[in-house]
Chains A and B, each alone.
Chain A
Amino acid sequence: MTTELRFVVDQQGVRYTLGKELGRGGQGVVFAVSRRKLAVKLIWGSDQSPVRRERLRNQLTLVKRLELRDLPIAAPLEMLRPPELGYVMELLTGMQPLSSLCHPASGLASGSLLDWYQQGGGLRRRLRLLGRIAAALATLHGHGLVYGDPSPYNLFISAAADAEEIRMIDADNLRYTSAPSEGIFFTPGYGAPELVSGRSGVNTLTDAYALAVMVFQTLTLVHPLCGDMVSDGEPELEEQAMAGRLPWIEHQTNPQNHSRAGLPREVVLSERLMDLCRECFEDGLQDATKRPGVSRWVERLYQAADAALTCPTCGWSYYVKVATCPRCEAPRPPLILARIHLWDPQSGEGGGLLQGPDGKPRTVGFAVATARDPLLLDDRLLDGRQGMQETPRIAVEIDGSGASLRALDGHGYELRTSQGGLRHVESEPVRIALSSAHAEWQLHIGPRDKQHRVVRFELQKESGDAR
Chain B
Amino acid sequence: MSSKEKNQRAMSKLQEVSIVAARPLPVILLADVSGSMAAAGKIDSLNQAVREMVAAFAEEDRSRAIITVGVITFGSGGAKLHQPLCPAHEMTWQGLAAAGNTPLGAALNLATELMEDQAQIPSRAYRPTVVLVSDGQPNDEWEEPLARLHSSPRASKAERFALAIGDDADCEMLQRFLGSPEARVFRAHEARQIKQFFRWVTMTVTTRSRSINPNLLAALEDLDY
Contact = CB atoms under 8 A, between A and B. Distances in A.
Interface of A: 1-3, 24-26, 44-46, 99, 102-108, 110, 113-114, 153, 185-188, 221-223, 226, 231-236, 239, 259-264, 266-267, 322-324, 326-327, 329
B20 interface: yes
A183 to B, nearest CB: 12
B19 A233 contact: no
B60 to A, nearest CB: 11
Contacts of A236: 215
B interface, how many residues as a size bin?
35 or more
Contact of B3 (A46, A234, A323): A323
A176 B15 CA distance: 47
Nearest 3 pairs of A and B residues by beta carbon: A103-B63, A26-B211, A264-B13
Contacts, number: 113
Interface stretch (B97-105, B133-141, B170-178, B217-225): B217-225
A322 to B, nearest CB: 6
26 contacts: A24-B206, A26-B212, A44-B222, A45-B221, A99-B61, A99-B63, A102-B63, A103-B22, A103-B62, A113-B19, A188-B213, A222-B19, A222-B20, A226-B20, A233-B123, A235-B23, A235-B125, A235-B127, A235-B214, A235-B215, A260-B18, A266-B10, A267-B13, A323-B3, A324-B7, A327-B11
A210 B25 CA distance: 25
Contacts of B19: 104, 106, 108, 113, 221-222, 261-262
Given A25-B211, A110-B17, A323 B124 contact: no
Contacts of A221: 17, 19
B14 A234 contact: no
Contact of B21 (A106, A233, A262): A106
B11 A326 contact: yes
Given A24-B206, A329-B7, 16 more contacts: A45-B222, A46-B222, A99-B61, A105-B62, A106-B62, A110-B15, A113-B17, A187-B212, A221-B17, A231-B20, A231-B124, A234-B124, A239-B213, A263-B14, A322-B7, A326-B14
Nearest to A327: B14
Contacts of B199: 1
B123 A188 contact: no
A293 to B, nearest CB: 25
A106 B14 contact: no
Contacts of B206: 24
B126 interface: yes
Contacts of A185: 212
